């Protein structure tokens, strides 16, 4: 009891000290060195010390901060039961050898889990751990390397598992707060908070045998911390709705550098149902090659182009849909902005009357609005003249 009283006295003194703006310290008492006044050294007074006290915050500000905290606490409590940890292994049974892990999230009560294709690629055995520690075996229903999406199925969900609501990535705005939940470095149930740093990024996700690359359009960029193990986990808005699937980071160290990317949920909504029903997704294919290092807007003044928007066609795939429709690729190479660029090809400025500002617009329209075998009208600029070309879309080769 005595020790506790001393602690309370000390705490009280500390509180009293912080309530004052200026404290005058008393003249120190110096021990006497002898019985005579001559033996007493000269006493000195310490200077006054100003104690910095923070300006009190208005109660309305404190309440607002508390409300923000409660929002995130509540969001985590609601969303985390729908997020899973995924461990993958090569081989089965006693011969299984673990080689990776990632994240995923439940989208319905039937046991369908969305994750990244690169998380489960090459796996023979897949284990899913839910937030309550329940362990379940999962199997792959479908994969899509082009969007880096995959769907798993768990037959027996634990009672605590809750599917997450899917949001609308078309309604997103730069600066909007976002939350990532996943398992970075195997640390299950980790939440990080950030903002949408940019929208409309194009992320190369699949490289062809000839060195070209197919890309995912409308990718979300965020500064919410994403690290190895977050792949396949959800990116959420402030209401706990999934707006994207965390898929990649840009870094020089292999860890978070504040530049992460998520596949937008509206692409997930289009592709995942087909992965569940058919195991794969067939992309419409135009059959052109474009140089994405520069936009037409950047090249317009340098090359004296007739327009400052669109997609400059570098080449067309022989025998492909664009080639059959008569779309032309580049005819010569020039040096511009310190780089060799193929020029002289058609410039695609619209598809089905929908304006095309850049390559991201073109592939976004193809993925979201068209199907294999569909006939589309491609508006091009050729020799400073505008014309419409009818193209029957093919199936993107793997």
Q: Which residue has the higher pLDDT, 112 or 11?
A: 112
- Report the range of poorest mean pLDDT among 6-20, 179-193, 229-243: 6-20
Mean pLDDT to the nearest integer, 238-261: 89
21-25, 216-220, 337-341: which is most confident: 216-220
SS3 383: coil
∠51-53-54 over CA atoms, to 5°?
155
Is residue 206 very low, low, confident or very high in pLDDT (cuts 50, 70, 90)? low
Token look-up 């695609």 returns 348
Say if CB 345 and CB 315 are below 8 A apart. Answer: yes
- At 92 the pLDDT is 82
Q: Of the ranges 163-167, 230-234, 257-261, 371-375, which one carries the lowest mean pLDDT score?
A: 257-261
- In order of 82, 181, 233, the CA distances from 158 in angstroms are 11, 19, 19
Indicate which residue of 231, 309, 314, 358 is catalytic.
231
Pairing of strands 22-23, 234-236: unpaired
- In angstroms, the CA 270 to CA 114 distance is 13
118 catalytic residue (yes or no): yes
Residue 181's DSSP bridge partners are 191
pTM to 2 decimals?
A: 0.79
112 in catalytic set:
no
Quick one: pLDDT band at residue 125, thresholds 50, 70, 90? Answer: very high
| Tokens 């899509």 -> residue | 144
Q: Which domains are present in the chain?
A: 80-153 (2.40.10.10), 169-278 (2.40.10.10), 284-395 (2.30.42.10)
Provide mean pLDDT across the span 251-267: 88
Q: What pLDDT does residue 85 have? A: 97
pLDDT for position 39: 52
> What local confidence, expressed as pLDDT, does residue 30 receive?
41
Per residue in 233-249, pLDDT tens?
A: 999 999 999 999 999 88
Nearest CA to 360 among 272, 264, 275?
Answer: 264
Instruction: Give percent of the chain above pLDDT 70.
Output: 87
Q: Write the pLDDT tens digit of every residue in 13-25.
A: 343 333 333 334 4
Residue 34 has pLDDT above 70, yes or no: no
Q: Is the pLDDT confidence value at 188 over 70?
A: yes
Give the best-scoring range by mean pLDDT among 24-38, 60-74, 318-332: 318-332
| pLDDT tier at 198, thresholds 50, 70, 90 | very high
Q: For residue range 48-65, list pLDDT tens digits in order.
A: 777 777 788 788 888 887
Whether 196 contacts 66, CB under 8 Å:
no
pLDDT at 55: 81
Q: How many CB atoms lie within 10 A of CB 62?
A: 11
Which of 118, 223, 291, 361 is flagged as catalytic? Answer: 118
The residue-averaged pLDDT of 273-301 equals 92
**Which residue is catalytic, options 87, 144, 148, 237?**
148
Mean of the pLDDT values across residues 160-180? 96
Q: 38 versus 301: which is more confidently predicted?
A: 301
pLDDT at 253 over 90: no
């Amino acid at each position: 009891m005595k020790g506790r009283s001393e602690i309370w006295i000390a705490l009280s003194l500390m509180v009293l000290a912080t309530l004052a703006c200026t404290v005058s310290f008393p003249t120190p008492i110096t021990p006497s060195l002898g019985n005579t006044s001559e033996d007493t050294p000269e006493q000195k007074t310490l200077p006054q010390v100003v104690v910095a006290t923070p300006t009190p915050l208005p109660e309305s500000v404190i309440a607002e901060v508390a409300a923000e905290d409660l929002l995130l606490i509540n969001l985590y409590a609601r969303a985390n039961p729908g997020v899973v940890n995924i461990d993958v292994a090569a081989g089965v049974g006693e011969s299984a050898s673990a080689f990776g892990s990632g994240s995923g999230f439940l989208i319905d009560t039937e046991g369908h889990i969305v994750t990244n294709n690169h998380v489960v690629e090459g796996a023979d055995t897949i284990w899913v751990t839910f937030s309550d520690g329940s362990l379940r075996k999962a199997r792959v229903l479908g994969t899509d390397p082009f969007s880096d999406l995959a769907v798993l199925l768990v037959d027996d969900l634990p009672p605590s598992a809750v599917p997450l609501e899917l949001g609308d990535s078309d309604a997103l705005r730069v600066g909007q707060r976002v939350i990532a939940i996943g398992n970075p470095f195997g640390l299950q149930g980790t939440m990080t908070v950030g903002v949408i740093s940019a929208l409309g990024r194009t992320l190369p996700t699949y490289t062809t045998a000839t060195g070209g690359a197919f890309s995912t359009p409308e990718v979300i960029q965020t500064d919410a911390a994403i690290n190895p193990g977050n792949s396949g986990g959800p990116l959420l808005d402030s209401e706990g709705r999934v707006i994207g699937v965390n898929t990649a980071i840009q870094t020089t160290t292999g860890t978070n550098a504040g530049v992460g990317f998520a596949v937008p949920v509206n692409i997930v909504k289009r592709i995942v149902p087909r992965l569940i029903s058919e195991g794969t997704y067939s992309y419409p294919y135009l059959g052109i090659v474009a140089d994405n290092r520069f936009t037409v807007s950047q090249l317009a003044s340098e090359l004296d182009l007739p327009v400052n928007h669109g997609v400059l066609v570098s080449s067309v795939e022989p025998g492909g849909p664009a080639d059959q429709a008569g779309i032309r690729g580049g005819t010569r190479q020039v040096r511009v902005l310190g780089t060799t660029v193929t020029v002289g090809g058609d410039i695609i400025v619209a598809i089905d009357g929908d304006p095309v500002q850049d390559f991201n617009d073109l592939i976004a329209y193809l993925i979201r609005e068209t199907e294999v075998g569909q006939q589309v009208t491609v508006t091009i600029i050729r020799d400073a003249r505008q014309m419409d070309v009818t193209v029957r879309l093919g199936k993107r080769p793997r």
